[in-house]
Amino acid sequence: MRLAGKVALVTGAARRRGIGREIVTCLAEEGADVVINDVGAEDEALELVEQVGALGRRAIWHQADVSERDAVDEMFRRTAGTLGVPDIVCSNAGVASWQPFLDITDDAWRQVVDVNVIGAFNVSQAAARMLIAAGRPGRIVFTSSVHVQMPFAQMAVYGASKSAIRALADVAAIELAPHGITVNHVGPGWVKSHINDASPALQTEDDVRNTLALIPLGRPADPREVGRAVTFLVSEDGDYITGEFLRVDGGFVVGKH
């Protein structure tokens, strides 16, 4: 029970096959009460609230679009007023888009940047402001991606958005350190979640074989394996870790480069 007495907020956490859901479960198993955020998937979110309750922890479902500043501020106010000021904030919500560079549309660019960059900024700034106002230390963890280090064709927009998260995390780590707030990001490789259902690299059996051949551990990650890495960073074990990028990729990056 490394997180007993802690309050956590996880964005993009409702979907059954999602990373966020497993972050919630791992944090709750370690004793944290949890706010489950997502833009939709209410049925799945309410099921997760019940699962967290069965672990003996409190959970609330808060539907909000992280790209909307007012909605994010309202979510933090509600969190503080119910479970308490969140000690742990996981900015995990994200969307992907696959388009050849020459065909990238304004709509795709805006949608990805709105959620992945503006959303991550809204959530992390709201978290830091609330923690500092309360005089409390805290942990912020973004879900970025191996694409921070590994360019993939058709993923310019997604890669750019995740590289922006890296820059945000690095600078926030410096500026928030004096307040006792650590800021890190985890980089999943291939995780079997909804986001990859549309990936052109995973449509046929041959595609899957070719992608697996790039991963030294020879398999995609279970979302829970990302949840466990996040738990490590926000637990006491991560006390002296800030500004770090922790890949959870089965060796994808070292295998490819």
Ligand X SMILES: NC(=O)c1ccc[n+]([C@@H]2O[C@H](COP(=O)([O-])OP(=O)(O)OC[C@H]3O[C@@H](n4cnc5c(N)ncnc54)[C@H](O)[C@@H]3O)[C@@H](O)[C@H]2O)c1
Say how many C-beta atoms besides its own lie within 10 A of residue 189's C-beta.
24
The count of residues in the chain is 257
Among 86, 119, 227, 238, binds ligand X (CB under 6 A): 119
Among 29, 30, 33, 38, binds ligand X (CB under 6 A): 38
Residues 49-108 that bind ligand X (CB under 6 A): 65-67, 92-96
Q: State the residue for tokens 């770090």.
A: 244
Q: Which residue is nearest to ligand X (CB)?
A: 94
Distance of alpha carbon 75 from alpha carbon 93, whole angstroms = 14
Of 158, 190, 232, 252, the active-site residue reads: 158
Nearer of residues 138 and 227 to ligand X, judged by Cβ = 227
Q: Please, are residues 165 and 185 in contact by the beta-carbon 8 Å criterion?
A: yes
Among 7, 9, 12, 128, binds ligand X (CB under 6 A): 12
**SS3 at position 36:** strand
Q: x/- contact string, 166-205, with ligand X (CB under 6 A)? A: ----------------------x-xx-xxxx---------
What are the residue ranges of helices labelled H in 69-119? Answer: 69-82, 106-112
Q: Please, are residues 166 and 187 in contact by the beta-carbon 8 Å criterion?
A: no
Nearer of residues 136 and 256 to ligand X, judged by Cβ = 256
For the record, the structure tokens of 9 come out as: 């907020």
Among 115, 131, 246, 253, binds ligand X (CB under 6 A): 115
Q: State the residue for tokens 């709509």.
A: 107
240 annotated active-site: no
Stretch of 31-39, 98-106, 174-182, 210-218 lying at the interface with ligand X (CB under 6 A): 31-39
Binding residues for ligand X, rule CB under 6 A, total 32
Tell me the C-alpha to C-alpha distance, in Å, between residue 112 and each of 23, 115, 127: 22, 6, 22
Asked if 150 is part of the footprint of ligand X (rule: CB under 6 A), the reply reads: no
For the record, the structure tokens of 122 come out as: 């809204």
Residues 198-257 that bind ligand X (CB under 6 A): none
Distance of alpha carbon 62 from alpha carbon 78, whole angstroms = 9
Question: Which residues of this chain interact with ligand X, rule CB under 6 A?
Answer: 11-12, 14-15, 17-20, 37-41, 65-67, 92-96, 115, 119, 143, 145, 188, 190-191, 193-196
Which residues are known to be catalytic? 158
